[in-house]
Amino acid sequence: MRQVEMGNRSGRNLEALPDEMPLEVSGLTVAYRDKPVLWDITFEVPEGQLVAIVGPNGAGKTTLLKAVMGMIEPAAGRALVYGMPFEKARHLVGYVPQRGSVDWDFPTSALDVVQMGLYGKLGWFRRPGRKEREKAMECLEQVGIASFADRQISQLSGGQQQRVFLARALAQDANLYLTDEPFAAVDYKTERAIVELLRELKSQGKTVVVVHHDLGTVPEYFDRVVILNKNLVAEGPVGKVFNKENLSEAYGGNVSYLAGS
């Protein structure tokens, strides 16, 4: 780890942050049993960027996020968050899992789910109180669904559920956000709201990594892209690497949306 810099960078809300890349993945290889899922992945995510991870189904996008967060043990390689192993940096990371990964019939309200983002700071045994309630309300306001705070979560639309997950990540007050398909199956209004939110985070100097499936919106929404298909196909600024050649290599054959460009 290099020197720790003391709050002299603009747009920062942390006084002390290691002067390192928010995310540095090197030689990361993950295998389930004998099947390799990710092979020798190396890339960096610079500060204050919106980064898309794209690739066909089964390319290992979600696995990549989980390996970064130590939920899956890599067979080789490692991922560093602000120059630290994830266990030491998890308070700097906000996570948005796939919407389909939980049971929305669970007896809990939108506000309650957002408060879960504060559990990490609360620590063991302590219950969320008024302060946590207020903070969670703020986060719900930020994603524009404060009026649904008390709704049981199955009574929210898909887009609203996605916003609840984003609000929960906002409550984590992180510097690096790892989000898994936040744009999946949301309505147009929600998509715009999420894009606005990502830009707002960027303007605060935060870094957001988004597992993304809609190639058409990559140039508009993101600064950088990581193109995966088990192997790393390409990574870098969207203008440089997001081209037909790299995409056909990842997706195999024609990528129709780029045909006209």
Partner 1 sequence: MLDLFSALFTDYTLRNVALGCAVLGVVSGVLGCFAVLRRQGLLGDALAHATLPGVCVAFILTGTRTPAILLLGAAISASLGALLILAVVGGTRIKQDAALGIVLSVFFGAGTVMLTYIAGTGNSGQSGLDRFIFGQAATIVREDVVTMGILAGIALVVVAVLFKEFKILSFDPEFAASMGYPVGKLNILLTALIVVAIVIGIQTVGVILMAAMLITPAAAARQWTDKLSMMVFVSGFFGALSGVSGAMVSASGSNLPTGPIIVLAATGIFLLSLVFGARHGFLWSRLRERRNRRAALEGGSP
Distance, CA of 64 to CA of 84 (rounded, Å): 17
Residue 32 interacts with partner 1 (CB under 8 A)? no
Closest separation between CB of residue 32 and partner 1, Å?
12
The number of angstroms, rounded, from the C-alpha of 86 to the middle of its chain's C-alpha atoms is: 14
Nearer to partner 1, 154 or 203 (CB): 154
Residue 109 interacts with partner 1 (CB under 8 A)? yes
Are 198 and 215 contacting, i.e. CB atoms less than 8 angstroms apart? no
Q: Which of 45, 113, 211, 238 binds partner 1 (CB under 8 A)?
A: 113
Distance, CA of 159 to CA of 164 (rounded, Å): 9
Are 225 and 244 contacting, i.e. CB atoms less than 8 angstroms apart? no
Nearer to partner 1, 176 or 250 (CB): 176
Q: What tokens appear for 30 in the block?
A: 């993950």
Residue 108 interacts with partner 1 (CB under 8 A)? yes
Distance, CA of 165 to CA of 193 (rounded, Å): 13
Q: Footprint of partner 1 on residues 64-83 (CB under 8 A)? A: 66, 69, 71
The number of angstroms, rounded, from the C-alpha of 69 to the middle of its chain's C-alpha atoms is: 11
Nearer to partner 1, 69 or 137 (CB): 69
| Positions that interact with partner 1 (CB under 8 A) | 66, 69, 71, 87, 90, 93, 95, 97, 101-103, 106-109, 113, 116, 119-120, 122, 124-128, 152, 168, 172
